[in-house]
Homo-oligomer: A and B are copies of this chain.
Amino acid sequence: MSKTIRQILGKGNFSINGKLWVEKNGERFFGPGPVELMELIEETGSINKAAKKMKLSYKKAWEIVHNLNSMTAQPLVITATGGENGGGSSISKEARQMINHYHELRKKFKRFMEEETLGLR
């Protein structure tokens, strides 16, 4: 007699989980990390502050920003050096639109995973 998946797995809290991202020419560049960073830049007005909130080194954060901007036709993060507060950064209208699109995608993906988690029983 064949077993159900649940019988194979046994007791415990089992679930399907996963990650989604956007690739350009096979290289991933737009996923949960960059999205969180961009939203923190939007909120704080600074790569520096955003990095700190994410507990990321500034260098790493800057690399993500650089990568994002080099991959798209429209710049996603707009940076300014010098000036009133030493400079700062913001995200473009296009970035906001991409982020919204990503959140929608995430929602669908979440539903997908929840459904498949039920399928484990």
- Contact-residue bracket for chain A: 35 or more
Given A112-B112, A120-B22, check contact A72 B8 (CB 8 Å). yes
Check A94–B22 contact: CB distance below 8 A. Answer: no
A26 surroundings in chain B (CB, below 8 A): 13
A105 surroundings in chain B (CB, below 8 A): 16, 116, 119
Once the chains are docked, how many angstroms separate the CA of A74 from the CA of B23?
A: 38
A113 surroundings in chain B (CB, below 8 A): 20
The yes or no answer to A12 lying at the interface (CB within 8 A) is: yes
The yes or no answer to A28 lying at the interface (CB within 8 A) is: yes
Check B116–A3 contact: CB distance below 8 A. Answer: no
Check A9–B101 contact: CB distance below 8 A. Answer: no
Give min CB distance, A2 to chain B, whole Å.
Answer: 7
Once the chains are docked, how many angstroms separate the CA of A120 from the CA of B120?
A: 31
